[in-house]
Amino acid sequence: MYKLDQPLYLLLLLLLPFFVMALYKKPKGLLFSAFQKMPEHKSWRIRLLVLPSFFYILAFIGIILTLARPVYYKGNVRDIRNGIVMEMVLDRSGSMGTWMDKKKERNRLDIVKSVFLDFVEARSDDIIGLTVFARYADTLSPLTVSHDVFPQFIKTVNLAPREADGTAIGDAIALAVARIESFRRGNPEGEKQSALIILLTDGQNNKGNLTPSEASKLAADRNITIYTIGFGGGFYQNAFGFWEKIPSEYQMDTKTLTEIAHQTGGLYFNADDEASLRKIYDRIDKLEKTEVEKYSFTERHEYFQIFLIISMILLVIAIVLGELFFPLVENEI
């Protein structure tokens, strides 16, 4: 919307007739004014004698519009998204190599990696990091909003070798908490943002320095929610070579995983195939929605500079034409 910030200056346009009358007076040295009837045989210089007065009038109007300060106001509504700080913690112990089909095409870790990437892609406004663990916990990706790095990172997640095998759930949680706290300290708004950990494992804590209970207390004290996912199921070949289905919670410490979630205000889930695992991540996605704040504001664009520049150009043209034509016209009259 266009408007004038100082519209009262338009009253100066009432002086326009007086300004024209001032220009109408005979210039010194001339036998007639710029608006009087000229001789029958007029040269081109005499014909253009009216131009300086014309440009003076335009400059006068332009200066008044400059003083009135024309502006353009544009209303906008902007979404401010407060992303959630989210540390993804994935088990890569040897048992994650359990086949999920009888054709041995995909194991547990393969499915987890696929579901993880889809989940991250859908959380474009969140700050996400990746921690993996077996006997030891490692940060694979720091907390970031640049999610395009995850396809490359997730390709490097492989089953732990025998010498590094194990399940250090407590240490993995503690490392995830440390990464979130580090992010908070380095970001002024970090303390205001919701933070959570999504822990996925197929076993029970048997390695590490901290127990799951000790680590989850660290998270609870720092208002970090933990969702735990027990991912079991799959198939194995018995001694006779026949495939048998593995129970979804086989060799899984569901009691500890449930306590971790409850201690931090989260939930425990169990999955035994890709479809059920995707449903769990979908549910977490719905539970942890990114907050969106809408701010209304008005953009202001000033245009008086344009009128000022144009007015100055017109004034210069008027002066130059006056100096160029008036002396020559005097010689022709």
Per-residue burial over 290-321, b if 16 or more Cβ lie within 10 Å, else e, is eeeeeeeeeeeeeebeebeebbeebbebbeeb
Contact 179, 137 (CB under 8 A): no
Q: What pLDDT sits at residue 259?
A: 97
Of 318, 319, 328, 317, nearest in space to 29 by CA: 328
Query: CA 227, 229, 230: angle at the middle one, nearest 5?
Result: 150
Structure tokens, 204: 């029970």
Per-residue pLDDT at 193: 78
What is the structure's pLDDT at 212?
A: 97
CATH architecture of 84-289: 3-Layer(aba) Sandwich (3.40)
The confidence score (pLDDT) of residue 7 equals 85
- On the 0-12 / 13-18 / 19+ scale of CB atoms within 10 A, 3 is exposed
Closest CA to 53 of 16, 106, 6, 107: 16
User: Alpha-carbon distance 147 to 107, whole Å?
Assistant: 24
The answer to whether 201 touches 257, Cβ cutoff 8 Å, is: yes
* 249/255 Cα distance (integer angstroms): 11
CA distance 4 to 216: 62
205: which 2 tokens? Answer: 């804590």
Domain ranges of the chain: 2-75+298-332, 84-289
From first to last of the 333 residues of the chain, give the pLDDT tens digit. Answer: 777 888 888 888 888 888 888 776 655 444 444 445 555 555 555 566 677 788 888 888 989 988 888 887 776 655 455 678 999 999 999 999 999 988 889 999 999 999 999 999 999 888 999 999 999 999 999 999 889 999 999 999 999 999 999 999 999 999 999 999 999 988 876 677 789 999 999 989 999 999 999 999 999 999 999 999 999 998 888 888 888 888 877 888 999 999 999 999 999 999 999 999 999 999 999 888 765 555 555 667 788 888 889 989 988 888 887 776 655 444 444
Rounded to two decimals, what is the model's pTM?
A: 0.65
Query: End-to-end CA distance of the chain, in Å?
Result: 52
Nearest alpha carbon to residue 170 among 270, 280, 257, 268: 257
